[in-house]
A and B are shown apart, each in its own frame.
Chain A
């Protein structure tokens, strides 16, 4: 893997140069160095170009799935199709669906193979070895055996109570490692309150879940299995009982962690497998490595806006140490404030959590977050800090073009909606993040930003990005529910309707 680590140094230097360029600083010198960097960088990236996904992958024997065809069919019939995100139906990959809209396991595995992910401890391309150290817990180093076990578990529907859900149901390899629905569907087709974040690059986050209630992937993996309306297992023991007699699991747990089948190691193996989901090979990376033609002129304008007028970078920081575009902080941008009674919820949540400590509090929060409208309080449920009311974790920007719908509740269909939302200064509420103010972006500037964001999609999903770009463009041409020009251009001010009773905010 020396090729990969060599690539990092080049990229890191090129990043700084590209940033200098974006900020209009030391231009002449930056261009001169960048020209030299192109040659170095292109050799590093050459190994990263992958074949596109097969249009109809050949079925393979499943080494994880345990759903019978009948079960799958029964669930499919009960499925609430109205919750489907249109992306699942659109474009190039019209794929057969299993329970809850997920691609059947065998087909997902074929898609996964085409992505050519690491299967062992090598440091994924594009990551600084020192940063990698901070990303992998000391007590769960990556080994081939652990990745293999995690892979089997990730696709195993026996981890759910009714056998219809695996991790791969809501984090479907064929649907950008998410489910492309506004909110996720659990056992008995129950809908949760939150949008399923992609597991691509999830390893980079400092906390997991949209409210950060778990620190590590290891912690995250345990919770959906036991949540009553997600995978619905009554207990850790009940979960393990489903798989502990599987001889292959016994062999694999022994090889991976030197013990019997157990819940903690199950979560650690899943986390290890998820740490192979590194997708940092996008046109944007070629651009910052010095190839200015890697992205369009419009996208380049978007990058300047991203760092300047649109102020995206203040929360979505992108740099070699932190390559996914998040500050790992929690911000109230007002998405919750569009829900009724949001402000009353805070008081109720304080009562619900009163006197609960430690694991008990965490369990209460987990259930509140998934099952009730208290979910809208976001990070507040974890910290009980007033300053955290209605705040959610800053999303990553990698592959954002294909991981819609957007926001913690999936309430935005397109990236244009997202920019519209920020352009109007979010939604006014007493807890709105102070950095969220109207941006006065023009239509052209909005288009440039959207086009820039699409360059952050890994090249392995280039075809999907094209399809999704076309779909979102068509949707945005028809509807712009968050567009509010008078607010964006500061003719009407945020809080004005709340205070003065004018018509601001009416959509």
Chain B
């Protein structure tokens, strides 16, 4: 039945998969596992029910749903209704089959061969096949199209259809985190027919293979999609209709949930999340998350180039208090760049703890006065965090000035390395490589514009990052990335504060929301009483 039931010479394995009984090539088994992990933790007693309209409140109505332009959390959530990705991640952060039933990796790690699901159709009736995958992947990797995902697909050197349902992807270098990329926006497969007919307007009338098809979109307000009755996954989606409501203002969004007009609320504020946990009619789901929020330090400025000062800052930062007082305990303290959604990786035991005396001693040793400017976003919430950090650092004798920018300016300052210390967050990606390589590798630091914000460079780190990107044995990768965490705790280009989580609030009538670490609701699986 499936061509991949006999494991090939070397089978691509999802990263961090303890005692891999599920050979990844064994598509059927893995698919079974995926279905097992999908139903909600709550209300296992009652079976799923079909029908009804699911109304989801999000932070913003996207301006487009063209996979080339999808980046934000809300955009990715809307896209989940319309598009399927080639691969998918499950609740444990593992890569599992989706539109592709499985894949093989060549011995040199540079060729991925994907087997595609047969009998799948796009909403416009076009058949899903190897040609459509080639068309989409070529579209996202063409620099002319300036995909927001471009940085993730630069390793791809060729995409070929071997037969109607087999695609071969060639890479420049071995890239073990590539499957995670095939579970993300670059691998959202859009209908080639629709794209060819109207490339410019595609973002307003997206056509995919997903569980719902767009029926009406009032820009800025409501996105309504009807059940895709020919969806490839049996019995899915459960809901007849899905409605996304983009509500910018968080109070408005929360009032809309309270008024009973929403089934699910995304991106609640920490304060509202704390309130909702006490309310009987709401359920709060807290997917673990892949990312962290942190203080990035620019190691190129004189004060911060001295590791004693960076260490002093870490000892001066009372993370537990910060998490409790400002974040209402929504996040857990972080010691690594890898969110709680990763399993198998260890915490750093001796991460610099809150200890003002040690901080003062280190600063006394450094013997010069330290003045810093801390920058971040201009939201009231972020400013409260900044003020808390400012107070903590000033308590050990460091002068701190706070500066706030709008998000775009903040990102610009950080990308162009024009800052001293910055409070920032990164939502993370399902492979550890994607959480560190672009941020800490020295080759990236050298570029004028790069995500190695603080221009940290260390030969030891480079060696680890290169090894992690090419190592295919999950157990060895765990060792490598634990070493990365240790080295980061020693060199401190970042002071990690907390692991980010994206809580979801729903009414108790809603079931089937799987706690996938990226906090994106797999809408096909959700049902209502």
Decide whether A and B assemble into one complex: no
Q: Which residue numbers of A lie inside 8 Å of B, CB to CB?
A: none
